[in-house]
Amino acid sequence: MPSDRPFKLVQVDEVRWKIPRTGGMRVPGLIYTDTTTLPDIEKDQSAEQVYNVAHLPGIIGHSLAMPDVHWGYGFPIGGVAAFDLEEGVVSPGGVGYDINCGVRLALTGMDRETIFPRIRKVIDFLFVKIPSGLGSRGGIHLNKNEMSKMLKLGAAWAVRQGMGEESDLERIEERGALDGADPSVVSDRAFERGKDQLGTLGSGNHFLEIGFIEQIFDEKTAAEWGIFKGQVTVMVHSGSRGFGYQVCDEFLARMVKSVREERIELPDRQLACTRLNTSLAREYLAAMACAANFAFANRQILMHLAKTTWEEAIGISPRELKFRLLYDVCHNIAKFETHDVNGKQKKVIVHRKGATRSFPANHPALPAIYRHTGQPVLIPGDMGRASYVLAGEEGAMKETFGSACHGAGRILSRHEALRQTKGRSIERELQDENVYPRWVGRKTLREEFPEAYKDVSLVVDVVQRAGLARKVAKIHPMGVVKG
């Protein structure tokens, strides 16, 4: 543990470590980890960022970190913080540059034995049909007027264009559109960056992956969700592309100035923020909602492209494929939600940066199909090991403002990943594990090799032991398209 920290971590129990309130902290910090995953957290500055976030005006409860936490811009990736509406702030660093980077999972009626002999053909088709990589452009070109409609409607815009079913919207967080989106506060530069990027995967850790259900932990919930052992799945991980990046970048610059004007003292300038009662906060939230809706529409289109491409690749009918959405969750978002604060129901704004909503059974925000099971919580791992499907639990409402982890959590920088994989063929190593990859970018596979991430099974185990979500099923990858 670094000796120059202004705090020390105190173990509460097997899966919780506390940063006691000290100095200018307004609330304590709380990190969900255990002795297995703690050493990874100690390697970077993420615990310091949890400590820093605890200084922000209006923060309530704890400054929180999930077990996949790692260093980010301002807030740690894997950080959660809620703020009251009277004294609180909104901070772009608590949302992230890739606004509503998120994951959706589709189920099929096919089993592993049927698709595995043809996995290369399906992945090759997907790689050709779905644009991926840095700056990739899709086949959808929108003028400003039509793009503004999409920014307000989100996934529903794509459904109205024939890309998906109306029933999909029930299976998307917030029905695939945040309220309050206002395209008039979005810059021309953001419009320009986003106008040709719908239906594109993006770069880095974004992916489209075909896997199969390797293990079921909760038979009852799995059956209700239509999940069976050996079932083939499709997972999409993407966000708001250059549009969201531009929104974040521009508002961060404005908030760096507003911090001085509002006389907000910060331990780190990357925590630039503005109080919720300002016009700047209202503008940012309206622009952020536009970016979130862009991401919802993008993932809806990507899922439609995956479905139709799959049908084309192996000459199968929609009735045979039985392709349907299980759920779509946000990762990087700030949302107004109602939570129990000191025994009273109170509206707050929850920042989830690299964290997933994890609402339990009977939560009023859930659609009827998930009201008695809790919402699906989708946790992607690395492309060589596993991903998980969980269900929200009541413990999340009591401790984390209805939040859980969002993935495995990176432990190696891209530079270090390249150093450690020098001379290795990651493609061959993946194929030796029966995972067929296609990728864009000379360095992508090496930067994203499995050991660059924590073992997602360890991360998910901490989440379950902490009572934030329960394991339903484990997915093993068969093929992946990486950006």
Of 284, 367, 339, 298, which is closest to residue 89 (Cα–Cα)? 284
Q: Which listed residue (70, 304, 363, 406) is catalytic?
A: 406
Confirm or deny that 306 is annotated as ligand binding.
no
Backbone torsions φ then ψ of 8, nearest 5 degrees: -135, 145
Q: Which of these, 294, 331, 324, lies nearest to 158 by C-alpha position?
A: 294
409 labelled binding-site residue: yes
Please name which of 118, 61, 370 lies closest in space to residue 232, comparing C-alpha atoms. Answer: 118
Q: In what order do the strands lie in the sheet with 77-84?
A: 10-13, 16-19, 29-32, 59-70, 77-84, 344-353, 333-341
Which helix (H) or strand (E) segment is 53 a member of?
A: helix 46-53
Is 179 annotated among the ligand-binding residues?
A: no
Q: Which helix (H) or strand (E) holds 405?
A: strand 403-405
For residue 25, what are its two tokens?
């902290």
Say whether 191 counts as a known binding-site residue: no
437 is in an annotated binding site: no
Which alpha helices (DSSP H) does 56-187 contain, by range? 112-115, 119-129, 144-153, 155-160
Q: Is 408 annotated as a binding residue?
A: yes
206 is in an annotated binding site: yes
Instruction: Give φ, ψ of 204 to 5 degrees.
Output: 70, -125
Handedness of CA 191, 182, 198, 245 (dihedral sign): positive
Chain mean position to CA 180: 21
First to last CA, the chain: 35
Q: Is 339 a catalytic residue?
A: no
Does 381 belong to an annotated binding site? yes
R_g (Cα) of the chain, nearest Å: 21
Find the angle CA(271)-CA(275)-CA(280) to the nearest 5 degrees.
Answer: 95
Secondary structure letter of residue 468 according to DSSP: S
Q: Which residue has the tokens 């016009």?
A: 279
**Residue 383 in marked binding region:** yes
Asked if residues 79 and 101 have their Cβ atoms less than 8 Å apart, the reply is: no
Residue 62 counted as an annotated binding residue:
no
Is 141 labelled as part of a ligand binding site? Answer: no
List the binding residues for Mn(2+).
98, 206, 237, 331
List the binding residues.
98, 205-209, 237, 331-332, 380-383, 387, 406-409, 482
Catalytic (active-site) positions: 406
List the binding residues for GMP.
205-209, 331-332, 380-383, 387, 406-409, 482
